Amino acid sequence: MKHLIKITIIALIAVSFTSCNNSARPNYQYMPNMYESVGYEAYQESNAFANGVEAQLPVDGSIPRGYTPFEYSSDVSGYNLAKAELVSPLDSTQFDEPRAKELYTIYCGICHGNKGNGQGNLVKREKILGVPSYDDAGRAINVGSIYHVMYYGKNSMGSYANFLSEEERWQVVAYVMKLKGDLEK
Amino acid sequence: MKKSYQSLEVNSIYNMKQVIHRKLSSNYLRLSLIFLLTFSTSIFAQDGDPVVGKSLFNANCIACHKLDKKMTGPALRKVESRLADSEGLDREWFYKWIKNSAGLIKSGDAYANKIYNEYNGAAMSAFPTLTNADIDNILAYTATEPTVAPPPPGPIDGGGSSTSQEGGISNKLILGALGVLFALLAGALFLVNKTLRNFADAKGVALTETKRTPIWKAFVQNQFLIFVTVIGLLLASAYFVYGFFMQVGVNQGYQPVQPIHYSHRIHAGDNGIDCKYCHSSARVSKHSGIPSLNVCMNCHKSIYEVAPKTQAEGLAEYGVDYNAEIKELYKAVGWDDAEQKYTGKSSPVKWIQIHKLPDFAYFNHSQHVVVGGIECQTCHGPIEEMEIVSQHAPLTMGWCINCHRKTDVKVKDNAYYTKIHEQLSKKYGVENLTAAQMGGLECGKCHY
């Protein structure tokens, strides 16, 4: 009987140790007021705003410093206008090909293929289908239309305006044009 | 011509999903149409070949149209008979619409304008390269009956679950067998003891049960042993207390359950999506941002369900219904999958932060990812294999310092470092500078 009690006590202690070890809960903090920021952190919840989050969109009509508004509308007429008249602010000397290639590989190559032939990894694995090649004659993309599509998205493609800065977008546009040229060779 | 045959053969190998050579294949199609017309009387002249139509459909149309589901454009199953019934449109209309939809809209065609406005002026690309025969084939493909939903991949599913069950059974069998063996052994020993005692009784040998001092009393009487034990206990408790205090605030292995199950294994591992695709702000800011839901929707606008094999794998191995999780995403972002538009009713997802540095330590992702060129996996571990992410590194100061001491700074092709590198390598007399030698151990670099 005594043995039984001893064994139960040891078992209980062991169980209590293992039950404390829960990987889905964060560990204790020593002095939390040094760990937790007093100021707002990114993505923090906050009751300062009506929608309960700290991250807010800029006020309508305000323009951040160093930011150029994009004047073309997101619909077909904007697309056609951009295709007709929009040109890149970068000249050939400002085209930084290694960087543009890196950006292209991260953001575009996964669907459009690293050669721009519409055979990215997601297409090869049949997750996303119907990605056109850049040399598609029916679409006949140019600098303006590429930038417009990158900015607003088109059909199944989403907007990439929040992934890349304005300058980076133009670098990628230049790289897409280079790929298009290579495909048409 | 030979080339087109080859390309078609290759295409048919890839489930007829990639046709780039529109013109080449259309030549082949024309030939095949002639062939059909010559040798078959039962086939109607206008009826195309659904098989060829499928490959054309997958090459040209599938980016915007699905057969049974509204996408960027309307669902196309039986579109011809449907429109013939409701709008009285003939095939000539389809030829005009597909080859140049904008022209048809401009000409004032009633239905063309109606469908154009219904889809908010999203114009359909013109396909001047498609011939009438191509369009016949495509329409023939759209007229096919829906294949009955393929039976769930039985062999994969059954195989997977049965193997896991077998594993469980065999483990239990082994354990059970061992248990029985031990019970038998114990019983045997007990029996041996009993028979020996019986023998002793029978032979008249008196078993002398010597009265021994119990071991704990002997222990208490030996002062040296007590001294050693006390020292040992003190050392052991010091070790454990120190260990306990050192792990306070360290979250290595922290693995919370997120509100929407997201598998890094599938996205970063199987599909090979770059980390910086979703965590794009790791390139340019202190934070490696948690992607907003529009980033998810870049792909999941088209990918509304996972492959049956992936789904079966998720259910069997991880107990996760991936399709239900995609529905959760749609709910959070306010995407109406049936109507293919945003409802505007979105709710933020309360993701749980896993890697969290205390407020008194400064860390900048872009400095490490872009300038340092460090792989994400160096600190975050094999993320691309994790179904549920857990914290890989301890994220303690000692861990940071160790890496700064060991890692050589990449000064090559970085004009910013050229001069300072020359000076410092002269000072330390080394060829490669570590981050520590560049000042990576100064308190103020991270604590201010």
Contact indicator for B328, B334 with CB cutoff of 8 Å: no
pLDDT at site A20: 57
Residue A85 sits at the chain B interface (C-beta within 8 Å): no
Q: Is A130 on the interface with B (CB under 8 A)?
A: yes
What was the pLDDT predicted at B400? 93
pLDDT of residue B64: 76
- Give the domain range for residue B430: 407-448
- Sign (positive/negative) of CA torsion A26, A32, A37, A40? positive
The pLDDT tens digits of the residues spanning A77-119 come to: 899 999 999 988 888 888 889 999 999 999 999 999 999 888 8
Residue B285 backbone phi and psi in degrees, to 5:
-145, 175
Distance from CA of A40 to the nearest CA of B (A): 11
Among partner residues B126, B257, B351, which is closest to A24 by beta-carbon distance?
B257
| Interchain contact, A158 vs B298, CB within 8 Å | yes
User: How many angstroms from the chain centroid is the CA of residue A177?
Assistant: 22
Are the beta carbons of A23 and B292 separated by less than 8 Å?
no
Sign of CA dihedral B320, B326, B328, B329: positive
CB A142 within 8 A of CB A176: no
d(CA A174, CA A143): 7
What is the CATH number for B137?
A: 1.10.760.10
Q: Which residues of B touch A28 (CB under 8 A)?
A: 248-249
Cβ of A122 under 8 Å from any chain B Cβ?
A: yes
Amino acid present at B312? A
**Is residue B49 located within the same domain as residue B167?**
no
Residue B254: inside a domain: no
User: How far from chain centre, in Å, is Cα B304?
Assistant: 15
The answer to whether residue B61 sits within a structural domain is yes
Q: To probe the interface with B, which of A17, A53, A114, A128 has the most B CB atoms within 10 Å?
A: A128
Do B99 and B31 belong to one domain? yes
Highest mean pLDDT among A13-22, A152-161, B186-195: B186-195
What are the sequence ranges of the domains in chain A?
96-184
Measured distance CA(B74)–CA(B67) in Å, rounded: 9
Q: Specify the pLDDT at position B274.
A: 92
Question: B303–A128: do the CB atoms touch at under 8 Å?
Answer: yes
Average pLDDT, chain A: 86
* CATH number of this structure's domain A96-184, picked from the four choices 1.10.15.40, 3.10.20.30, 2.40.10.230, 1.10.760.10: 1.10.760.10
Q: Which residues pair with B335 in a beta bridge?
A: B342
In one letter, which amino acid is A178? K
Whole-angstrom Cα distance, residue B340 to residue B332? 15
For chain B, say whether A76 makes contact (Cβ under 8 Å): yes
A42 close contact with B: CB closer than 8 A: yes
Does residue A150 have a pLDDT over 90? yes
Which residue on chain B is closest to A105 by alpha carbon?
A: B274
Phi (first) and psi of residue B19, to 5 degrees: -120, 115
B177 Cβ neighbours under 8 A, 6+ residues apart: none
Domain end among B142, B172, B206: B142
Residue with tokens 């469908």: B115
- Estimate the crossing angle of helix A143-152 against helix A76-85, to 10 degrees: 140
Question: Looking at the complex, does the CB of residue B390 fall below 8 Å from at least one CB of chain A?
Answer: yes
Question: What integer pLDDT is reported at residue B65 of this predicted model?
Answer: 80
A128/B71 touch (CB, cutoff 8 Å), yes or no: no
Site of tokens 């393929």:
B150
Residue B311 domain-assigned (yes or no):
yes
Question: Rounded CA gap, B409 and B195, in Å?
Answer: 78
d(CA B357, CA B78): 58
Tell whether A126 lies on the interface with B, counting CB pairs under 8 A. Answer: yes
Contact between residue A100 and residue A175 where contact means Cβ atoms under 8 Å apart: yes
Query: How distant is the Cα of B349 from the closest Cα of chain A, in angstroms?
Result: 11
> Cβ of B289 under 8 Å from any chain A Cβ?
yes
Closest chain A residue by Cα to residue B100? A138
Tell me if B61 and A130 make a contact (CB, 8 A cut-off).
yes
pLDDT at B11: 44
Q: Which amino acid is at B285?
A: S
- Residue A29 in contact with partner chain B when CB distance is under 8 A: yes
Tell me which residues of chain B, numbers 300 to 319, contact chain A at a CB-CB cutoff of 8 Å: 301-303, 307
Whether the Cβ atoms of residue B78 and residue B142 lie closer than 8 Å to each other: yes
The answer for A 164-183 residues in CB contact with B (under 8 A) is 164-165
* Residue in the structure block whose two tokens are 């709008």: B87
Residues B60, A31: Cα–Cα separation, whole Å: 61
3-state secondary structure of B397: helix
Question: Nearest CA to B383 among B288, B275, B285?
Answer: B275
CB atoms within 10 A of CB B6: 12
* Domain final residue, candidates B185, B215, B246: B246
To the nearest whole Å, the CA of A87 is away from the closest chain B CA by 23
Q: What is the mean pLDDT of residues A150-171?
A: 90
**End-to-end CA separation in angstroms for chain A:** 90
- Which H or E run contains B341? strand B341-342
Across the interface, whether the CB atoms of B284 and A165 are under 8 A apart is answered yes
Contact call for A76 and B123, based on CB within 8 A: yes
Contact B302 A117 (CB under 8 A): no
- As a whole number of angstroms, the distance between CA B123 and CA B100 comes to 10
Residue A151 to chain B, least CA–CA distance (Å):
13
pLDDT per residue rounded down to tens, chain B (448 residues): 444 444 444 444 444 444 444 455 555 556 555 555 455 444 444 577 888 887 778 777 877 787 777 777 777 877 877 777 777 777 788 887 888 777 777 787 777 777 777 776 677 777 777 788 888 888 888 877 776 654 444 444 433 344 444 445 678 899 999 999 999 999 999 999 999 988 888 888 777 667 777 888 888 888 999 999 999 999 999 999 999 998 888 888 899 999 999 999 999 999 999 999 999 999 999 988 899 898 999 889 888 888 888 899 899 988 889 999 999 999 999 998 888 888 888 888 889 999 988 889 999 999 999 888 899 999 999 999 999 999 999 999 999 999 999 988 877 777 777 788 888 888 888 878 888 888 889 999 899 8
Q: Please report the pLDDT score of residue B35 as a whole number.
A: 54
B258 located within any domain: no
The shortest CB-CB distance from B249 to any of A28, A127, A128 is to: A28
Question: Kind of pairing, strands B335-336 and B341-342?
Answer: antiparallel
**Domain presence at residue B430:** yes
Checking phi first, is residue A31 left (phi over 0); if not, alpha (psi -120 to 50) or beta?
A: left
Query: Residues B17, B11: contact at Cβ < 8 Å?
Result: yes
Residue B342 forms beta bridges with which residues? Answer: B335
Q: Looking at chain B, which residue has its C-alpha nearest residue A165?
A: B284
Closest CA to A146 of A166, A120, A172, A123: A172
Q: Do B359 and A34 touch (CB under 8 A)?
A: yes
* A71 lies within 8 A of chain B by CB: no
Judged by DSSP in three states, A161 sits in coil
Examine residue B442 and state whether it is found in any structural domain, yes or no: yes
Residues 350-369 of B with CB under 8 A from A: 350-351, 353, 356, 358-360
Q: In terms of domains, do B58 and B45 share one?
A: yes
Count the neighbouring beta carbons within 10 Å of the beta carbon of residue A115. 14
Q: How far apart are CA B308 and CA B150, in angstroms?
A: 10
Chain B residues in contact with A127 by the CB 8 A cut-off are 271, 299, 303, 307
User: Is residue B290 domain-shared with residue B394, that is, in the same domain?
Assistant: yes
Total domains in the fold of chain B: 4
Cβ separation B272–A105 shorter than 8 A: no
Which residue stretches of B148-266 are H helix? 154-203, 215-221, 223-246, 264
Name every chain B residue with its beta carbon within 8 A of the beta carbon of A122.
Answer: 271, 273, 299
At A37, which amino acid appears? S
CA pair distance B18, B154, nearest whole angstrom: 28
Helix axes B79-86, B132-142, angle to 10 degrees: 90
Domain edge (last residue) among B391, B406, B421: B406
What is the distance between the alpha carbons of residues B367 and B285, in angstroms, rounded to a whole number? Answer: 8
A35:B360 CB<8 A: yes
- Return the pLDDT at B41: 43
